[in-house]
Amino acid sequence: MQKDEKNNSASRARWLLLNAQRQNDQKKTIDAWREVLTYGQGDELDAFEVIRLVELLRNEVKITERLLAKEGVPENKYKSHINNAYRATALENVNASWANYRKYITPELLVCFSFAEFIITDDEPTFDEEEILKIQELIAELEASLEIGEFSNELVDFINDQIALLKRGLHDLSIRGSKALQKCYVDGLGEIIENSDVIKDNHGTEPIEKLRSAWEHMKSATNKAAELNKSIDTWSKVTEKGANLLEHLGNLI
């Protein structure tokens, strides 16, 4: 999204649908969505993950529809375009030519979502691209730390689960916004509590230190986004969850 755009369900859905519209008609549908949804991370997402992400996008379309109704916008102004968004994201045949779905992403659909973006009052903080790249770099360092020593299977499994969770949070961020981060922090804290003994037993090891660095930067990037947008109150629950995670992790190491 551009810096002068709002960040809400409608704007995120529009941005992803616009990028999907730009995909080649001859691509397989699964490959078109994979290209759109990697969010520049370079990961080769498997088909199940791509389908999961498209389902998240469909949910943002549903939220947009609900919020337009809540704002009192007449249904005949948006219903046909919302339905086309559902058709474009249906994924009935992931190996079909993208042309079968791309045709539903019409110029009128994109205009409708632009309209919805500004009608809907929600406007969330946006993560800076450099912050995302830094988190990706820290995740890569965390992955590499497992290759430079002999660690217990329990630690390796825990770290790999945390890596998957962090990556998922970044993938989901471009689709779900703050909801993605809140889930990331909640799930991350749950895994940390569940693996408290593993963390204590491996206190001071490079994987644990790299894990703390990755979470610290995720938290600082969240705070920075909120502060820059002067809307930290709207993200108070998210930043609080990040603080809780880091506090618990810090107490263990």
Break the chain into its structural domains and give their ranges.
9-119, 129-252
Local structure of 44: helix, strand or coil: coil
Structural contact between residues 68 and 78, judged by C-beta atoms closer than 8 angstroms: yes
| Helices and strands in the chain, H and E counts | 12, 0
Tokens 């916008």: give the residue: 73
- Rounded-to-integer distance, Cα 51 and Cα 163, Å: 20
- Give me 89's structure tokens: 């994201």
Is the full-model pTM beyond 0.75? yes
- Give me 104's structure tokens: 């539903």
**Cross-strand bridge partners of residue 28:** 97
Burial class (CB in 10 A: 0-12, 13-18, 19+), 194: exposed
**Residue 71 has what pLDDT?**
92
Structural contact between residues 37 and 45, judged by C-beta atoms closer than 8 angstroms: yes
Our measurement of the distance from residue 170's CA atom to the centroid of its chain's CA atoms, rounded to an integer in Å, reads: 4
Per-residue pLDDT tens over the stretch 34-88:
999 875 555 578 889 999 999 999 999 999 999 999 999 999 999 999 999 999 9
CB-based burial, 138-163: b 16+ in 10 Å, e otherwise:
bbeebeebbeeeebeeebeebbeebb
pLDDT reading at 159 higher than 60: yes
Cα dihedral 10/14/20/22 (nearest 10): 180
pLDDT reading at 200 higher than 60: yes
- Give me 227's structure tokens: 């502060």
For the residues 134-150, what does the mean pLDDT come to? 89
- Rounded-to-integer distance, Cα 147 and Cα 114, Å: 46
Those residues whose C-beta lies under 8 Å from the C-beta of residue 30, and which sit 6 or more positions away, are 47, 50, 51, 91, 94, 95
pLDDT, greater one: 234 or 252: 252
**Residue 233 has what pLDDT?**
57
Those residues whose C-beta lies under 8 Å from the C-beta of residue 79, and which sit 6 or more positions away, are 65
Q: Which residue type is seen at 210?
A: K
Average pLDDT of the chain is 87
